[in-house]
């Protein structure tokens, strides 16, 4: 199913429609969100040049061990359905991440993990048992390319040990395992090289490891005053990328799929993304939120951006933050039609929630489907 369709159908799951119905859309924070994206730490053991989180990682902030474990309890008490360990730094580098993942799993909070893969072996059991999906950022098919794009802080390549970690996980995992490939070229920043010639080889390796999917993604950079602007790459390299990507279908089996990120085709064609928004509030920001050690933010697009900081969970409970004045002020200030000039992955979701709310208010029937994915 195409990703966009999938995001829309996810909103029609029973538990989401129920939440939309219960929410008082005229009031900020009338209901807790369904999904939390969480940066456990802003520290990372890798030093990828041009990392999207480079600026915030200078701080090495992290939640204290006690606070992270307490947060798990607060998520449960607030009815959070899914937690995505997303980054900032490396989410699995947090000292009590194993206990945290086990707590979520034992309390039926679904877990998704975006990781550089270096700590998988250390938490193999918890990840295998409790993670619904684990997506390992690889961006290469060889240790040589990996060493340039994703070096350790000491400049070494951890490629072979990460591949080994993924093989171990593939053997025993309950959830899905993905191999993520971010297209990089010298235009992405100083010291970077093209990894395009390794796309097919990387997908083949992913299948050989026992991954369930290979995801190919374009990069984003700050450009023309827009954070997260889609990178405009060199035309010749994009032609090469198209050839590599066209071959990927040969690798598809019943157990192995290829996922193309939503904006990949725009990037391959060198097209600009235009996404005007004609709504003044962000309904999805009532259903999902981003928690970092340095603050809670409206969403990942506004990570570490002060005007969009809705609270601080070092000093407040989740509930105090979510229902507090600070968050209300930011949500009243937030205006997607003016501020969200980037291409937002949740734009169609916002339009759909607006339609669903309208239908409910008009007393119309809304289609529902059984739960199939907590990560709306
Ligand atoms: C910042 S990392 C943090 C999580 C974890 N340390 C990891 O390596 O997956 C999260 C994701 O951001 C992606 N990323 C980094 N820089 C990017 C950029 N400039 N544009 C798009 N994605 C980027 C990486 O490929 C990775 O999959």
**CATH number, position 312:** 3.20.20
Residue 221's DSSP bridge partners are: 229
The residue whose two tokens read 């997303």 is 86
Site to substitute for ligand 1 among 52, 92, 131, 149, most atoms within 8 A of C-beta: 52
Q: Could you tell me if 122 and 88 are in contact, meaning their C-beta atoms sit under 8 angstroms apart?
A: no
Number of C-alpha atoms within 13 angstroms, CB side, residue 306? 0
**Residue where a domain terminates, one of 230, 251, 271:** 271
Which residue's CA is the nearest one to ligand 1's atom 21? 219
Pairing of strands 288-292, 295-297: antiparallel
What gap in Å lies between CA 343 and CA 306, rounded to an integer?
20
pLDDT at 226 over 90: no
| Encoded tokens for 375 | 């990560």
Which sign does the torsion angle of CA 71, 21, 301, 166 carry? positive
The contacts of residue 334 (CB under 8 Å, 6+ apart) are: 281, 282, 285, 298, 308
The residue whose two tokens read 């429609």 is 17
Pair 336, 363 in one domain: yes
pLDDT at 272 over 80: no
206 assigned to some structural domain: yes
The contacts of residue 367 (CB under 8 Å, 6+ apart) are: 12
Pocket lined around ligand 1, Cβ cut-off 6 Å: 44, 50-53, 87, 90, 114-116, 137, 180, 182, 219-221
Pair 364, 239 in one domain: no
Which residue's CA is the nearest one to ligand 1's atom 13? 52
Q: What is the overall mean pLDDT for the chain?
A: 95
Model pLDDT for residues 100-138, shown as the tens digit of each residue: 999 999 999 999 999 999 999 999 999 999 999 999 999
**Residue where a domain terminates, one of 248, 271, 294:** 271
**Residue where a domain terminates, one of 245, 271, 297:** 271
Pair 180, 282 in one domain: no
Q: Which atom of ligand 1 is nearest to the CA of 51?
A: 16
Buried-state track 318-338, b at ≥16 Cβ within 10 A, e below 16: beebbbbeebeebbeebebee
**3-class DSSP state for residue 184?**
coil
What gap in Å lies between CA 278 and CA 354, rounded to an integer?
11
119 assigned to some structural domain: no
Pair 217, 174 in one domain: yes
Q: So what's the pLDDT on residue 262?
A: 87
Q: So what's the pLDDT on residue 227?
A: 79
Pair 259, 343 in one domain: no
244 assigned to some structural domain: yes
Q: So what's the pLDDT on residue 271?
A: 87
Q: So what's the pLDDT on residue 221?
A: 86
Beta strands in 18-128 (DSSP E): 35-38, 82-85, 110-115
Average confidence (pLDDT) over 348-365: 97
Range in 45-54, 202-211, 291-300 with the lowest mean pLDDT: 45-54
Q: Return the axis-axis angle of helices 97-106 and 65-77, rounded to nearest 10°.
A: 10
357 assigned to some structural domain: yes
124 assigned to some structural domain: no
Pair 295, 352 in one domain: yes
Q: So what's the pLDDT on residue 268?
A: 95
Neighbouring C-beta atoms of residue 27, cutoff 10 Å: 11
Report the separation in Å between the CA atom of 45 and the middle of ligand 1, taken as the mean of its atom positions: 13
pLDDT at 33 over 70: yes
Number of C-alpha atoms within 13 angstroms, CB side, residue 221? 15
Average confidence (pLDDT) over 330-356: 96
**3-class DSSP state for residue 325?**
helix
Which residue's CA is the nearest one to ligand 1's atom 22? 219
118 assigned to some structural domain: no
Pairing of strands 288-292, 82-85: unpaired
Report the separation in Å between the CA atom of 43 and the middle of ligand 1, taken as the mean of its atom positions: 13
pLDDT at 1 over 80: no
| Encoded tokens for 309 | 């900081």
Average confidence (pLDDT) over 2-30: 92
Q: So what's the pLDDT on residue 2?
A: 61
Q: In what helix (H) or strand (E) does residue 230 lie, and over which residues does it extend?
A: strand 226-230
Domain count along the chain: 2
Where on the phi/psi map is residue 176: left (φ > 0), alpha (ψ -120 to 50), or beta? beta
Model pLDDT for residues 160-192, shown as the tens digit of each residue: 999 999 999 999 999 999 999 999 999 999 989
188 assigned to some structural domain: yes
121 assigned to some structural domain: no
Q: How would DSSP label each residue in 65-82? A: HHHHHHHHHHHHHTT--E
Average confidence (pLDDT) over 72-96: 96
Pair 205, 99 in one domain: no
Note the pTM of the prediction, 2 decimals: 0.96
pLDDT at 55 over 80: no
Pair 228, 304 in one domain: no
Pair 151, 258 in one domain: yes
In this prediction, residue 223 has a pLDDT band, given cuts at 50, 70 and 90, of confident
Domain assignment of residue 207, given as a range: 138-271
Average confidence (pLDDT) over 205-228: 92
Pair 176, 250 in one domain: yes
Report the separation in Å between the CA atom of 52 and the middle of ligand 1, taken as the mean of its atom positions: 6
Q: Could you tell me if 258 and 203 are in contact, meaning their C-beta atoms sit under 8 angstroms apart?
A: yes
Range in 51-60, 313-322, 324-333 with the lowest mean pLDDT: 51-60
What gap in Å lies between CA 205 and CA 209, rounded to an integer?
6
Pair 257, 187 in one domain: yes
Which residue's CA is the nearest one to ligand 1's atom 3? 87
What gap in Å lies between CA 2 and CA 6, rounded to an integer?
6
Pair 229, 316 in one domain: no
């Amino acid at each position: 199913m195409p990703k966009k369709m999938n995001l829309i159908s996810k909103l029609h799951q029973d538990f989401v429609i129920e939440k939309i119905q219960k929410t008082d859309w005229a009031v900020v924070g009338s209901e807790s969100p369904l999904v939390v994206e969480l940066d456990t730490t802003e520290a990372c053991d890798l030093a990828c040049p041009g990392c999207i989180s480079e600026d915030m990682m200078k701080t090495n902030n992290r939640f204290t061990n006690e606070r992270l474990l307490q947060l798990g309890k607060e998520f449960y008490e607030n009815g959070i359905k899914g937690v995505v360990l997303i980054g900032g730094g490396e989410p699995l580098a947090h000292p009590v991440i194993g206990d945290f993942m086990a707590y979520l799993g034992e309390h039926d909070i679904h877990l998704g993990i975006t990781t550089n893969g270096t700590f998988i072996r250390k938490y193999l059991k918890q990840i295998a048992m409790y993670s619904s999906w684990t997506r390992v950022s690889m961006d290469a098919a060889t240790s040589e390319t990996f060493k340039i794009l994703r070096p350790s802080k000491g400049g070494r390549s951890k490629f072979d040990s990460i591949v080994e970690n993924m093989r171990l996980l593939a053997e025993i995992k309950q959830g899905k395992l993905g191999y993520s490939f971010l297209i990089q070229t010298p235009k992405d920043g100083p010291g970077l090289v093209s990894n395009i010639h390794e796309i097919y080889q990387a997908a083949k390796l992913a299948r050989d490891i026992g991954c369930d999917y290979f995801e190919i993604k374009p990069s984003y950079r700050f450009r023309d005053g827009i954070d997260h602007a889609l990178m405009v790459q060199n035309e010749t390299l994009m032609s090469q990328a198209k050839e590599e990507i066209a071959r990927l279908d040969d690798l598809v089996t019943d157990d192995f799929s290829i996922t193309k990120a939503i904006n990949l085709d725009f990037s391959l064609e060198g097209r600009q993304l235009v996404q005007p928004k004609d709504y003044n509030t962000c309904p999805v920001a009532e259903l999902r939120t981003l928690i970092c050690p340095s603050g809670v933010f409206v969403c990942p697009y506004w990570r570490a951006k002060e005007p969009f900081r809705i609270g601080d969970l070092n000093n407040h409970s989740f509930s105090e933050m979510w229902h507090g004045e600070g968050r209300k002020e930011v949500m009243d200030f937030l205006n997607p039609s003016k501020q969200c000039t980037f291409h937002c992955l949740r734009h169609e979701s916002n339009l759909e929630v607006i339609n669903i709310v309208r239908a409910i208010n008009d007393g119309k029937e809304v289609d529902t489907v059984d739960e199939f994915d907590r990560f709306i």
